[in-house]
A and B are shown apart, each in its own frame.
Chain A
Amino acid sequence: MSTSNEKLLIDIGSTYFKVSTNASIEQHFRDFNKQILDDLIHKCGDTVHRFEASDIHICSSANGGLSTLIIGLTHSYSLKYASNIAFNSGINIIQSIVFQNIEDYSIPSDVIDVVIIVGGIDSNGGLFDQRLSDYIAKLDYSNVVYVGNSQDAAAIASQVERLVVLPNIIDDRLHIVEQHLKEYLTNLYQQDIEGKEDIKHLYQITGNQIYPTPYVVNKSLPLIHSSFSVTEPFILLDIGGATTDVHYSKDLVSDNIVTEQGHDRIVFKKLGVYKSRQSLIFTAENNEFAYELLMHLKVTENIYTEYSEKATRILMQLAIFLVLCKMSHYRPTYVTLNLLAINSIVFTGGITKVLEAEDIEDVVAFFYRKILNSDHKPVTVLDTNYDIWTLGAREHATCQ
Protein backbone atom coordinates (compact mmCIF):
# COMPACT_ATOMS: atom_id res chain seq x y z
CA MET A 1 0.00 0.00 0.00
CA SER A 2 1.09 3.58 -0.56
CA THR A 3 2.61 5.75 2.10
CA SER A 4 -0.06 7.34 4.24
CA ASN A 5 -0.28 10.75 2.60
CA GLU A 6 0.23 9.84 -1.02
CA LYS A 7 -2.90 10.34 -3.10
CA LEU A 8 -3.99 8.91 -6.38
CA LEU A 9 -5.75 11.48 -8.55
CA ILE A 10 -7.93 10.42 -11.44
CA ASP A 11 -9.65 12.64 -14.01
CA ILE A 12 -12.24 11.16 -16.34
CA GLY A 13 -12.76 13.19 -19.48
CA SER A 14 -15.03 12.53 -22.42
CA THR A 15 -12.09 11.36 -24.53
CA TYR A 16 -9.15 10.60 -22.25
CA PHE A 17 -8.65 9.75 -18.63
CA LYS A 18 -5.57 10.59 -16.64
CA VAL A 19 -4.10 9.10 -13.52
CA SER A 20 -1.59 10.90 -11.36
CA THR A 21 0.57 9.78 -8.45
CA ASN A 22 3.30 11.76 -6.71
CA ALA A 23 5.78 10.20 -9.10
CA SER A 24 4.07 10.20 -12.47
CA ILE A 25 1.10 11.13 -14.59
CA GLU A 26 -0.35 8.83 -17.24
CA GLN A 27 -2.93 9.58 -19.85
CA HIS A 28 -5.01 7.04 -21.76
CA PHE A 29 -7.44 7.26 -24.64
CA ARG A 30 -10.75 5.81 -23.48
CA ASP A 31 -12.03 2.55 -24.85
CA PHE A 32 -15.70 3.26 -25.47
CA ASN A 33 -16.55 -0.43 -25.71
CA LYS A 34 -15.75 -0.81 -22.03
CA GLN A 35 -17.24 0.66 -18.88
CA ILE A 36 -15.04 3.36 -17.43
CA LEU A 37 -14.12 1.34 -14.38
CA ASP A 38 -13.12 -1.73 -16.41
CA ASP A 39 -11.14 0.41 -18.83
CA LEU A 40 -9.36 2.12 -15.96
CA ILE A 41 -8.52 -1.13 -14.16
CA HIS A 42 -7.44 -2.73 -17.43
CA LYS A 43 -4.99 0.09 -18.17
CA CYS A 44 -3.90 1.21 -14.71
CA GLY A 45 -4.96 -1.62 -12.39
CA ASP A 46 -1.56 -1.98 -10.77
CA THR A 47 -1.45 1.68 -9.82
CA VAL A 48 -5.05 1.81 -8.62
CA HIS A 49 -4.60 -1.25 -6.41
CA ARG A 50 -1.65 0.31 -4.61
CA PHE A 51 -4.01 2.85 -2.99
CA GLU A 52 -6.67 2.72 -0.30
CA ALA A 53 -10.11 3.92 -1.35
CA SER A 54 -9.74 6.90 0.98
CA ASP A 55 -6.61 8.05 -0.88
CA ILE A 56 -8.16 7.92 -4.34
CA HIS A 57 -9.69 11.20 -5.56
CA ILE A 58 -11.66 11.29 -8.77
CA CYS A 59 -13.09 14.12 -10.82
CA SER A 60 -14.98 14.00 -14.07
CA SER A 61 -15.97 16.26 -16.91
CA ALA A 62 -17.24 13.44 -19.05
CA ASN A 63 -20.78 14.75 -19.34
CA GLY A 64 -20.20 18.41 -19.96
CA GLY A 65 -22.33 19.99 -17.28
CA LEU A 66 -25.91 21.07 -16.87
CA SER A 67 -28.02 23.68 -18.59
CA THR A 68 -30.34 26.25 -17.12
CA LEU A 69 -33.01 28.69 -18.16
CA ILE A 70 -33.46 31.65 -15.82
CA ILE A 71 -36.64 33.66 -15.41
CA GLY A 72 -36.09 36.88 -13.48
CA LEU A 73 -37.61 40.30 -12.95
CA THR A 74 -34.76 42.51 -14.16
CA HIS A 75 -31.41 42.33 -15.92
CA SER A 76 -29.49 44.30 -13.32
CA TYR A 77 -30.43 42.27 -10.27
CA SER A 78 -32.31 38.98 -10.40
CA LEU A 79 -30.99 37.77 -13.76
CA LYS A 80 -27.50 39.06 -13.15
CA TYR A 81 -27.24 37.48 -9.71
CA ALA A 82 -28.68 34.14 -10.77
CA SER A 83 -26.44 34.02 -13.86
CA ASN A 84 -23.41 34.72 -11.75
CA ILE A 85 -24.23 31.92 -9.33
CA ALA A 86 -24.97 29.54 -12.19
CA PHE A 87 -21.60 30.22 -13.88
CA ASN A 88 -19.82 29.65 -10.64
CA SER A 89 -21.55 26.32 -10.21
CA GLY A 90 -20.48 25.24 -13.70
CA ILE A 91 -23.94 25.52 -15.26
CA ASN A 92 -24.53 26.66 -18.83
CA ILE A 93 -27.17 29.29 -19.31
CA ILE A 94 -29.21 28.66 -22.39
CA GLN A 95 -31.68 31.49 -21.93
CA SER A 96 -32.45 34.41 -19.62
CA ILE A 97 -35.98 35.74 -19.58
CA VAL A 98 -37.25 39.05 -18.24
CA PHE A 99 -40.56 38.08 -16.68
CA GLN A 100 -42.61 41.10 -17.71
CA ASN A 101 -42.09 40.14 -21.38
CA ILE A 102 -42.22 36.38 -20.93
CA GLU A 103 -44.78 35.84 -23.67
CA ASP A 104 -42.33 37.23 -26.24
CA TYR A 105 -39.75 34.50 -25.67
CA SER A 106 -39.56 31.29 -27.66
CA ILE A 107 -39.59 27.89 -26.00
CA PRO A 108 -36.18 26.22 -26.21
CA SER A 109 -36.32 22.78 -27.77
CA ASP A 110 -33.53 21.27 -25.64
CA VAL A 111 -34.22 19.58 -22.35
CA ILE A 112 -33.33 22.03 -19.60
CA ASP A 113 -31.69 20.51 -16.57
CA VAL A 114 -32.84 23.22 -14.19
CA VAL A 115 -35.17 26.20 -14.45
CA ILE A 116 -34.37 29.03 -12.02
CA ILE A 117 -37.05 31.56 -11.05
CA VAL A 118 -35.99 34.71 -9.21
CA GLY A 119 -37.16 38.24 -8.46
CA GLY A 120 -37.87 40.80 -5.79
CA ILE A 121 -36.69 41.41 -2.27
CA ASP A 122 -38.63 39.73 0.53
CA SER A 123 -40.60 42.87 1.43
CA ASN A 124 -41.95 43.00 -2.12
CA GLY A 125 -44.47 40.53 -3.49
CA GLY A 126 -47.18 39.72 -6.00
CA LEU A 127 -44.58 40.02 -8.73
CA PHE A 128 -45.41 36.95 -10.82
CA ASP A 129 -48.66 35.83 -12.35
CA GLN A 130 -50.29 33.06 -14.36
CA ARG A 131 -47.98 33.73 -17.32
CA LEU A 132 -45.14 32.17 -15.35
CA SER A 133 -46.74 28.77 -14.90
CA ASP A 134 -48.11 28.88 -18.45
CA TYR A 135 -44.59 29.31 -19.80
CA ILE A 136 -43.05 26.71 -17.53
CA ALA A 137 -45.70 24.20 -18.50
CA LYS A 138 -44.42 24.38 -22.08
CA LEU A 139 -40.81 23.68 -21.14
CA ASP A 140 -39.12 20.32 -21.10
CA TYR A 141 -37.15 20.41 -17.85
CA SER A 142 -35.84 18.14 -15.09
CA ASN A 143 -35.69 20.48 -12.08
CA VAL A 144 -37.16 23.82 -11.13
CA VAL A 145 -36.03 26.02 -8.27
CA TYR A 146 -37.44 29.28 -6.86
CA VAL A 147 -35.01 31.72 -5.28
CA GLY A 148 -37.06 34.92 -5.38
CA ASN A 149 -39.01 36.92 -2.79
CA SER A 150 -40.52 34.88 0.02
CA GLN A 151 -44.05 36.27 -0.34
CA ASP A 152 -44.59 34.73 -3.78
CA ALA A 153 -43.13 31.31 -2.99
CA ALA A 154 -46.33 29.59 -1.88
CA ALA A 155 -48.40 30.80 -4.82
CA ILE A 156 -45.79 29.64 -7.33
CA ALA A 157 -45.32 26.32 -5.54
CA SER A 158 -49.04 25.66 -5.89
CA GLN A 159 -48.85 26.17 -9.66
CA VAL A 160 -45.51 24.62 -10.56
CA GLU A 161 -45.05 20.96 -9.77
CA ARG A 162 -41.94 19.76 -7.94
CA LEU A 163 -40.85 23.34 -7.25
CA VAL A 164 -37.87 23.52 -4.90
CA VAL A 165 -38.00 26.70 -2.81
CA LEU A 166 -34.75 28.12 -1.45
CA PRO A 167 -33.95 31.40 0.35
CA ASN A 168 -33.94 34.54 -1.78
CA ILE A 169 -30.65 35.26 -3.58
CA ILE A 170 -31.39 38.99 -3.23
CA ASP A 171 -31.20 40.33 0.30
CA ASP A 172 -33.03 43.29 1.83
CA ARG A 173 -30.30 45.66 0.70
CA LEU A 174 -30.49 44.41 -2.87
CA HIS A 175 -27.20 42.52 -2.52
CA ILE A 176 -26.47 39.01 -3.74
CA VAL A 177 -26.68 35.95 -1.47
CA GLU A 178 -24.94 33.07 -3.20
CA GLN A 179 -24.76 30.24 -0.75
CA HIS A 180 -28.04 28.31 -1.02
CA LEU A 181 -28.52 28.35 -4.77
CA LYS A 182 -24.87 27.58 -5.33
CA GLU A 183 -25.04 24.58 -3.04
CA TYR A 184 -28.18 23.34 -4.76
CA LEU A 185 -26.71 23.69 -8.26
CA THR A 186 -23.40 22.13 -7.29
CA ASN A 187 -25.28 19.17 -5.85
CA LEU A 188 -27.33 18.78 -9.01
CA TYR A 189 -24.13 18.85 -11.03
CA GLN A 190 -22.71 16.18 -8.81
CA GLN A 191 -25.77 13.96 -9.01
CA ASP A 192 -25.62 14.35 -12.75
CA ILE A 193 -22.02 13.17 -12.85
CA GLU A 194 -22.76 10.28 -10.58
CA GLY A 195 -25.84 9.21 -12.46
CA LYS A 196 -24.43 9.36 -15.95
CA GLU A 197 -21.82 7.58 -18.01
CA ASP A 198 -21.37 4.76 -15.56
CA ILE A 199 -19.33 7.10 -13.40
CA LYS A 200 -21.08 5.62 -10.42
CA HIS A 201 -19.15 2.37 -10.74
CA LEU A 202 -16.08 4.36 -9.81
CA TYR A 203 -17.39 4.57 -6.27
CA GLN A 204 -16.18 0.98 -5.97
CA ILE A 205 -12.62 2.24 -5.86
CA THR A 206 -12.91 5.59 -4.10
CA GLY A 207 -14.18 6.54 -0.68
CA ASN A 208 -14.35 10.21 -1.67
CA GLN A 209 -16.97 12.21 -3.50
CA ILE A 210 -16.46 12.54 -7.26
CA TYR A 211 -16.26 16.21 -8.25
CA PRO A 212 -16.69 18.04 -11.55
CA THR A 213 -13.31 18.74 -13.14
CA PRO A 214 -13.89 22.48 -13.69
CA TYR A 215 -14.56 22.85 -10.00
CA VAL A 216 -11.23 21.25 -9.20
CA VAL A 217 -9.34 23.29 -11.80
CA ASN A 218 -10.85 26.47 -10.42
CA LYS A 219 -9.38 25.59 -7.02
CA SER A 220 -5.88 25.65 -8.49
CA LEU A 221 -6.04 29.16 -9.91
CA PRO A 222 -4.98 31.01 -6.77
CA LEU A 223 -1.99 28.63 -6.62
CA ILE A 224 -1.08 28.83 -10.29
CA HIS A 225 1.89 31.12 -9.67
CA SER A 226 3.69 28.35 -7.81
CA SER A 227 4.04 26.35 -11.03
CA PHE A 228 3.89 28.83 -13.90
CA SER A 229 5.02 32.33 -14.58
CA VAL A 230 1.64 33.81 -15.21
CA THR A 231 0.90 37.52 -14.90
CA GLU A 232 -2.52 38.65 -13.69
CA PRO A 233 -5.00 39.22 -15.10
CA PHE A 234 -5.13 35.98 -17.06
CA ILE A 235 -7.57 33.55 -18.60
CA LEU A 236 -7.26 29.82 -18.64
CA LEU A 237 -8.74 27.78 -21.46
CA ASP A 238 -9.37 24.10 -20.92
CA ILE A 239 -10.25 22.80 -24.37
CA GLY A 240 -11.28 19.19 -24.27
CA GLY A 241 -13.19 16.58 -26.22
CA ALA A 242 -16.71 17.61 -25.25
CA THR A 243 -16.51 21.03 -23.64
CA THR A 244 -14.37 24.08 -23.28
CA ASP A 245 -14.03 25.74 -19.91
CA VAL A 246 -12.88 29.29 -19.53
CA HIS A 247 -11.58 30.44 -16.18
CA TYR A 248 -10.84 34.12 -15.80
CA SER A 249 -9.72 36.70 -13.28
CA LYS A 250 -12.63 38.67 -11.87
CA ASP A 251 -11.07 42.00 -12.80
CA LEU A 252 -11.66 41.24 -16.46
CA VAL A 253 -15.40 41.66 -16.10
CA SER A 254 -16.80 45.09 -15.64
CA ASP A 255 -19.79 44.32 -13.46
CA ASN A 256 -19.61 45.09 -9.82
CA ILE A 257 -20.98 42.03 -8.11
CA VAL A 258 -18.89 41.28 -5.09
CA THR A 259 -18.31 37.56 -4.54
CA GLU A 260 -15.71 35.62 -2.59
CA GLN A 261 -13.68 34.14 -5.42
CA GLY A 262 -11.01 35.87 -7.40
CA HIS A 263 -11.70 33.69 -10.44
CA ASP A 264 -14.92 32.81 -12.17
CA ARG A 265 -15.48 30.30 -14.86
CA ILE A 266 -17.93 29.46 -17.58
CA VAL A 267 -18.37 26.27 -19.52
CA PHE A 268 -19.15 26.11 -23.22
CA LYS A 269 -20.95 22.84 -23.28
CA LYS A 270 -20.84 22.03 -26.95
CA LEU A 271 -17.45 23.24 -27.96
CA GLY A 272 -15.01 20.38 -28.13
CA VAL A 273 -13.00 18.64 -30.80
CA TYR A 274 -14.09 15.08 -30.30
CA LYS A 275 -17.49 14.39 -28.76
CA SER A 276 -18.76 17.87 -29.66
CA ARG A 277 -17.01 18.04 -33.00
CA GLN A 278 -20.22 18.59 -34.98
CA SER A 279 -21.38 21.53 -32.93
CA LEU A 280 -17.89 23.04 -33.06
CA ILE A 281 -18.04 22.88 -36.84
CA PHE A 282 -21.53 24.33 -36.81
CA THR A 283 -20.32 27.27 -34.71
CA ALA A 284 -17.39 27.77 -37.08
CA GLU A 285 -19.64 27.77 -40.13
CA ASN A 286 -21.65 30.56 -38.57
CA ASN A 287 -18.65 32.72 -37.83
CA GLU A 288 -17.73 34.97 -40.72
CA PHE A 289 -14.06 35.08 -39.71
CA ALA A 290 -13.61 31.33 -39.34
CA TYR A 291 -13.27 31.03 -43.10
CA GLU A 292 -10.50 33.61 -43.09
CA LEU A 293 -8.81 31.75 -40.29
CA LEU A 294 -8.89 28.56 -42.35
CA MET A 295 -7.30 30.44 -45.26
CA HIS A 296 -4.72 31.83 -42.90
CA LEU A 297 -3.97 28.27 -41.77
CA LYS A 298 -3.79 27.27 -45.46
CA VAL A 299 -6.65 24.78 -45.45
CA THR A 300 -10.19 24.78 -46.87
CA GLU A 301 -13.56 23.94 -45.39
CA ASN A 302 -13.01 20.35 -46.56
CA ILE A 303 -11.03 19.93 -43.38
CA TYR A 304 -14.36 19.65 -41.52
CA THR A 305 -15.01 16.26 -43.08
CA GLU A 306 -11.49 14.95 -42.69
CA TYR A 307 -10.49 12.69 -39.84
CA SER A 308 -6.75 13.06 -39.49
CA GLU A 309 -4.19 14.44 -37.07
CA LYS A 310 -4.06 17.55 -39.16
CA ALA A 311 -7.84 17.98 -38.98
CA THR A 312 -7.75 17.63 -35.20
CA ARG A 313 -5.04 20.30 -35.02
CA ILE A 314 -7.06 22.70 -37.15
CA LEU A 315 -10.20 22.10 -35.12
CA MET A 316 -8.28 22.81 -31.93
CA GLN A 317 -7.09 26.08 -33.44
CA LEU A 318 -10.64 26.91 -34.49
CA ALA A 319 -11.84 26.13 -30.97
CA ILE A 320 -9.39 28.66 -29.51
CA PHE A 321 -10.57 31.30 -31.94
CA LEU A 322 -14.28 30.62 -31.36
CA VAL A 323 -13.96 30.67 -27.61
CA LEU A 324 -12.12 33.98 -27.69
CA CYS A 325 -14.88 35.35 -29.95
CA LYS A 326 -17.51 34.18 -27.49
CA MET A 327 -15.75 35.96 -24.67
CA SER A 328 -15.33 39.21 -26.58
CA HIS A 329 -17.66 42.00 -27.65
CA TYR A 330 -17.80 40.45 -31.10
CA ARG A 331 -20.03 37.53 -30.05
CA PRO A 332 -21.19 38.38 -26.56
CA THR A 333 -22.58 35.48 -24.58
CA TYR A 334 -23.20 35.90 -20.90
CA VAL A 335 -19.85 37.27 -19.96
CA THR A 336 -17.77 39.72 -21.91
CA LEU A 337 -14.16 39.91 -20.87
CA ASN A 338 -11.83 42.79 -21.34
CA LEU A 339 -9.48 40.75 -23.50
CA LEU A 340 -7.22 43.72 -24.22
CA ALA A 341 -6.29 43.77 -20.55
CA ILE A 342 -5.10 40.20 -20.19
CA ASN A 343 -1.44 39.52 -19.76
CA SER A 344 -1.41 35.74 -20.02
CA ILE A 345 -3.48 33.00 -21.61
CA VAL A 346 -2.96 29.60 -20.07
CA PHE A 347 -3.92 26.50 -22.06
CA THR A 348 -4.63 23.16 -20.52
CA GLY A 349 -6.51 19.98 -21.43
CA GLY A 350 -6.22 17.83 -24.52
CA ILE A 351 -5.16 20.81 -26.60
CA THR A 352 -1.68 20.89 -25.10
CA LYS A 353 -1.05 17.38 -26.40
CA VAL A 354 -1.89 18.35 -29.95
CA LEU A 355 -0.74 21.90 -30.58
CA GLU A 356 2.67 23.53 -30.33
CA ALA A 357 3.06 26.95 -28.74
CA GLU A 358 3.51 28.55 -32.18
CA ASP A 359 0.24 27.09 -33.49
CA ILE A 360 -1.57 28.63 -30.55
CA GLU A 361 0.17 32.00 -30.67
CA ASP A 362 -0.63 32.21 -34.37
CA VAL A 363 -4.39 31.89 -33.71
CA VAL A 364 -4.34 34.22 -30.73
CA ALA A 365 -2.57 36.87 -32.79
CA PHE A 366 -5.10 36.34 -35.62
CA PHE A 367 -7.97 36.86 -33.15
CA TYR A 368 -6.55 40.08 -31.74
CA ARG A 369 -5.84 41.46 -35.18
CA LYS A 370 -9.14 40.55 -36.83
CA ILE A 371 -11.62 40.94 -34.02
CA LEU A 372 -10.11 43.49 -31.70
CA ASN A 373 -7.97 45.37 -34.25
CA SER A 374 -5.03 45.21 -31.93
CA ASP A 375 -1.45 44.02 -31.80
CA HIS A 376 -1.90 43.05 -28.18
CA LYS A 377 0.05 39.90 -27.47
CA PRO A 378 -0.63 38.17 -24.17
CA VAL A 379 1.93 35.57 -23.18
CA THR A 380 0.72 32.04 -23.89
CA VAL A 381 1.50 29.45 -21.29
CA LEU A 382 1.06 25.73 -22.01
CA ASP A 383 0.28 23.35 -19.21
CA THR A 384 1.57 20.29 -21.05
CA ASN A 385 1.84 18.01 -18.06
CA TYR A 386 -1.56 18.64 -16.44
CA ASP A 387 0.13 20.49 -13.58
CA ILE A 388 -2.87 22.75 -13.11
CA TRP A 389 -5.25 19.90 -12.68
CA THR A 390 -2.81 18.10 -10.37
CA LEU A 391 -2.38 21.25 -8.31
CA GLY A 392 -6.14 21.68 -7.93
CA ALA A 393 -6.85 18.02 -7.32
CA ARG A 394 -4.09 17.77 -4.72
CA GLU A 395 -5.27 20.93 -2.98
CA HIS A 396 -8.81 19.63 -3.04
CA ALA A 397 -7.80 16.19 -1.81
CA THR A 398 -5.91 17.73 1.10
CA CYS A 399 -8.92 19.83 2.07
CA GLN A 400 -11.33 16.91 2.02
Chain B
Amino acid sequence: MKVVTGVIGNDIHVVANRLMDLSLNARGYEVFNLGVNTFLEEFFDAAVETGAEILLISSLNGEAEGWSREVKILKSKYKTLDRLIMMIGGNLTVGSGNARDIVPRYKNYGFDLVCHQVDLNTGLDMLEDYIKEHRQP
Protein backbone atom coordinates (compact mmCIF):
# COMPACT_ATOMS: atom_id res chain seq x y z
CA MET B 1 0.00 0.00 0.00
CA LYS B 2 1.10 3.54 -0.68
CA VAL B 3 1.45 5.96 2.18
CA VAL B 4 2.24 9.66 2.17
CA THR B 5 3.91 10.95 5.32
CA GLY B 6 5.58 14.09 6.62
CA VAL B 7 5.65 16.67 9.40
CA ILE B 8 3.01 19.36 9.16
CA GLY B 9 3.44 23.13 9.13
CA ASN B 10 6.62 24.88 10.13
CA ASP B 11 7.65 21.96 12.27
CA ILE B 12 11.27 20.87 11.91
CA HIS B 13 11.36 17.90 14.32
CA VAL B 14 12.76 15.38 11.91
CA VAL B 15 13.76 12.40 14.07
CA ALA B 16 10.38 10.69 14.32
CA ASN B 17 9.85 11.32 10.61
CA ARG B 18 13.01 9.40 9.72
CA LEU B 19 12.04 6.54 12.00
CA MET B 20 8.57 6.53 10.52
CA ASP B 21 10.01 6.22 7.02
CA LEU B 22 12.17 3.25 8.09
CA SER B 23 9.39 1.46 9.97
CA LEU B 24 6.85 1.90 7.20
CA ASN B 25 9.31 0.55 4.65
CA ALA B 26 10.13 -2.39 6.91
CA ARG B 27 6.42 -3.15 7.15
CA GLY B 28 6.17 -3.25 3.36
CA TYR B 29 4.50 0.05 2.59
CA GLU B 30 5.51 2.15 -0.40
CA VAL B 31 6.47 5.40 1.33
CA PHE B 32 6.33 8.95 -0.03
CA ASN B 33 8.04 10.99 2.62
CA LEU B 34 7.47 14.72 2.22
CA GLY B 35 9.76 15.46 5.18
CA VAL B 36 9.47 18.36 7.60
CA ASN B 37 7.84 21.73 6.85
CA THR B 38 4.99 20.29 4.81
CA PHE B 39 1.73 22.14 4.32
CA LEU B 40 -1.67 20.51 4.38
CA GLU B 41 -2.32 21.14 0.69
CA GLU B 42 0.96 19.42 -0.18
CA PHE B 43 -0.12 16.32 1.75
CA PHE B 44 -3.39 16.09 -0.15
CA ASP B 45 -1.74 16.92 -3.47
CA ALA B 46 0.84 14.18 -2.89
CA ALA B 47 -1.96 11.69 -2.19
CA VAL B 48 -3.57 12.64 -5.52
CA GLU B 49 -0.36 12.37 -7.54
CA THR B 50 0.74 9.07 -6.02
CA GLY B 51 -2.65 7.43 -5.55
CA ALA B 52 -1.79 6.79 -1.88
CA GLU B 53 -4.39 5.04 0.28
CA ILE B 54 -2.99 6.37 3.56
CA LEU B 55 -1.98 9.80 4.80
CA LEU B 56 0.12 9.77 7.92
CA ILE B 57 0.85 13.17 9.44
CA SER B 58 3.30 13.88 12.25
CA SER B 59 3.27 16.94 14.42
CA LEU B 60 5.61 17.55 17.33
CA ASN B 61 5.88 21.26 18.00
CA GLY B 62 2.28 22.05 18.86
CA GLU B 63 0.97 23.24 15.49
CA ALA B 64 -1.25 20.19 14.93
CA GLU B 65 -4.52 21.58 16.12
CA GLY B 66 -4.40 24.74 14.00
CA TRP B 67 -3.89 22.75 10.85
CA SER B 68 -6.34 20.04 11.74
CA ARG B 69 -9.17 22.55 11.87
CA GLU B 70 -8.57 23.11 8.14
CA VAL B 71 -8.68 19.44 7.19
CA LYS B 72 -12.37 19.01 6.42
CA ILE B 73 -12.71 22.18 4.38
CA LEU B 74 -9.62 21.57 2.31
CA LYS B 75 -10.23 17.87 1.79
CA SER B 76 -13.75 18.55 0.55
CA LYS B 77 -12.26 20.46 -2.38
CA TYR B 78 -10.67 17.28 -3.70
CA LYS B 79 -12.81 14.95 -5.74
CA THR B 80 -10.72 11.78 -5.39
CA LEU B 81 -9.76 11.57 -1.72
CA ASP B 82 -12.91 10.15 -0.15
CA ARG B 83 -11.33 6.80 0.63
CA LEU B 84 -8.05 8.17 1.97
CA ILE B 85 -7.20 6.82 5.44
CA MET B 86 -6.22 9.80 7.60
CA MET B 87 -3.87 9.33 10.54
CA ILE B 88 -2.09 11.81 12.80
CA GLY B 89 0.41 11.36 15.62
CA GLY B 90 3.07 13.02 17.78
CA ASN B 91 2.36 15.79 20.27
CA LEU B 92 -1.13 16.84 19.36
CA THR B 93 -1.53 19.64 21.80
CA VAL B 94 0.42 22.53 23.26
CA GLY B 95 1.78 21.62 26.69
CA SER B 96 0.10 18.70 28.42
CA GLY B 97 -3.21 17.17 27.52
CA ASN B 98 -4.78 13.78 27.67
CA ALA B 99 -5.74 11.39 24.95
CA ARG B 100 -9.30 11.00 26.25
CA ASP B 101 -10.08 14.59 25.20
CA ILE B 102 -7.73 14.84 22.29
CA VAL B 103 -8.69 11.75 20.30
CA PRO B 104 -12.39 12.52 19.82
CA ARG B 105 -11.56 16.12 18.97
CA TYR B 106 -9.21 15.09 16.18
CA LYS B 107 -11.63 12.45 14.91
CA ASN B 108 -14.08 15.28 14.59
CA TYR B 109 -11.52 17.19 12.52
CA GLY B 110 -11.57 14.34 10.02
CA PHE B 111 -8.92 11.86 11.18
CA ASP B 112 -9.59 8.12 11.30
CA LEU B 113 -6.68 7.34 13.61
CA VAL B 114 -5.28 9.66 16.28
CA CYS B 115 -2.09 8.85 18.23
CA HIS B 116 -1.28 11.48 20.82
CA GLN B 117 2.12 10.63 22.31
CA VAL B 118 1.76 7.06 21.19
CA ASP B 119 4.90 5.15 20.34
CA LEU B 120 5.43 4.74 16.64
CA ASN B 121 5.20 0.96 16.48
CA THR B 122 2.06 0.85 18.58
CA GLY B 123 0.61 3.43 16.20
CA LEU B 124 1.52 1.43 13.12
CA ASP B 125 -0.03 -1.71 14.65
CA MET B 126 -3.23 0.30 15.12
CA LEU B 127 -3.06 1.27 11.47
CA GLU B 128 -2.75 -2.36 10.41
CA ASP B 129 -5.75 -3.36 12.52
CA TYR B 130 -7.73 -0.50 11.04
CA ILE B 131 -6.90 -1.55 7.51
CA LYS B 132 -7.87 -5.16 8.27
CA GLU B 133 -11.17 -4.03 9.65
CA HIS B 134 -12.10 -1.47 7.04
CA ARG B 135 -10.51 -2.55 3.81
CA GLN B 136 -11.24 -6.27 3.62
CA PRO B 137 -13.51 -7.09 0.71
Footprint of B on A, CB under 8 Å? 73-78, 100, 119-121, 123-125, 127, 170, 173-174
Interface residues of B in 55-82 (CB under 8 A from A): 78-80
Q: Contact size class for B?
A: 10 to 19
Inter-subunit contact A174/B41 (CB<8 Å)? no
Residues of A with C-beta under 8 A to B32: 173-174
Q: Given A121-B49, A124-B50, output 7 extra A-B contacts at Cβ < 8 Å.
A: A75-B45, A77-B45, A119-B49, A120-B51, A123-B50, A124-B49, A174-B46
Q: How far is the CA of A123 from the CA of B2 in the complex (A)?
A: 10
Residues of B with C-beta under 8 A to A77: 45-46, 49
Chief secondary structure at chain A's binding surface = loop
Footprint of A on B, CB under 8 Å? 2, 30, 32, 34, 41-42, 44-46, 48-51, 78-80
B106 shortest CB reach to chain A, Å: 24
Q: How far is the CA of A351 from the CA of B34 in the complex (A)?
A: 44
With both beta carbons as reference points, the residue of chain B lying nearest to A79 in the complex is identified as: B45
Residues of A with C-beta under 8 A to B34: 174
Known A100-B78, A100-B80, A173-B32: A76·B50 in contact at CB below 8 Å: no
Q: What number of residue pairs across chains A and B have CB atoms under 8 A from each other?
A: 44
Q: Which of B30, B32, B48, B78 has the most CB of A within 10 A?
A: B48
Residues of A with C-beta under 8 A to B45: 73-77
B35 shortest CB reach to chain A, Å: 9
Jot down 22 A-B pairs with beta carbons below 8 A, ordered by A.
Answer: A73-B49, A74-B44, A74-B45, A74-B46, A76-B41, A76-B42, A76-B45, A77-B45, A77-B49, A78-B49, A100-B79, A120-B49, A120-B51, A121-B49, A123-B30, A124-B51, A127-B51, A173-B32, A174-B32, A174-B34, A174-B46, A174-B50
With both beta carbons as reference points, the residue of chain B lying nearest to A126 in the complex is identified as: B51
Inter-subunit contact A76/B46 (CB<8 Å)? yes
B44 shortest CB reach to chain A, Å: 8
With both beta carbons as reference points, the residue of chain B lying nearest to A74 in the complex is identified as: B45
Inter-subunit contact B51/A123 (CB<8 Å)? yes
List the 7 shortest-distance A-B pairs measured between CB atoms, nearest first. A74-B45, A124-B51, A76-B45, A76-B42, A77-B49, A100-B79, A74-B48
With both beta carbons as reference points, the residue of chain A lying nearest to B44 in the complex is identified as: A74
With both beta carbons as reference points, the residue of chain B lying nearest to A170 in the complex is identified as: B49
Q: How far is the CA of A174 from the CA of B78 in the complex (A)?
A: 19
Known A100-B78, A100-B79, A173-B32: A121·B48 in contact at CB below 8 Å: no
Q: How far is the CA of A123 from the CA of B51 in the complex (A)?
A: 8
Q: How far is the CA of A173 from the CA of B4 in the complex (A)?
A: 11
Residues of B with C-beta under 8 A to A127: 51
Residues of A with C-beta under 8 A to B48: 73-74
A251 shortest CB reach to chain B, Å: 16
With both beta carbons as reference points, the residue of chain A lying nearest to B41 in the complex is identified as: A76
Residues of A with C-beta under 8 A to B46: 74, 76-77, 174
